[in-house]
């Protein structure tokens, strides 16, 4: 059950991050949501690692959205670089 809740949380974070990151998504919503889930995991891991928050605190949502935004921006940079080459 914990995994399902984590995936649903990542889905919400991915959708939120997609609305905040400008530009056209070449991979569509499925890629955005997948990157959101991965970015949520990355942001949560890094946020807890440096002690920004503990599990269950509201700051976790914002840190997860930040991780998802970073991952989406990196994805956009890689896709643009491949398109220019």
Tell me, letter by letter, the H, E, C secondary structure of 61-80. Answer: HHHHHHHHHHHHHHHHHHHH
**Total-model pTM:** 0.77
**pLDDT tens sequence across 11-45:** 888 888 888 877 776 677 777 778 878 887 888 78
**pLDDT tens sequence across 39-74:** 878 887 888 888 877 777 777 788 888 888 888 888
DSSP 8-state symbol, 8: H
Which of 20, 47, 45 lies closest to 32, judged by CA? 20
What is the pLDDT, as a whole number, of residue 64? 83
Q: Burial letters for 1-37: b for 16+ Cβ neighbours within 10 Å, e otherwise? A: eeeeeeeebbebbbebbbeebeeebeeeeebbbbbbb
């Amino acid at each position: 059950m914990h995994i399902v809740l984590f995936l649903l949380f990542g889905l919400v974070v991915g959708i939120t991050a997609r609305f905040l990151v400008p530009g056209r998504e070449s991979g569509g919503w499925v890629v955005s949501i997948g990157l959101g889930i991965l970015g949520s995991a990355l942001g949560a891991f890094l946020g807890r690692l440096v002690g920004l928050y503990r599990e269950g605190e509201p700051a976790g949502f914002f840190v997860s959205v930040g991780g998802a935004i970073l991952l989406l921006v990196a994805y956009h940079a890689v896709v643009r670089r491949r398109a220019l080459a």
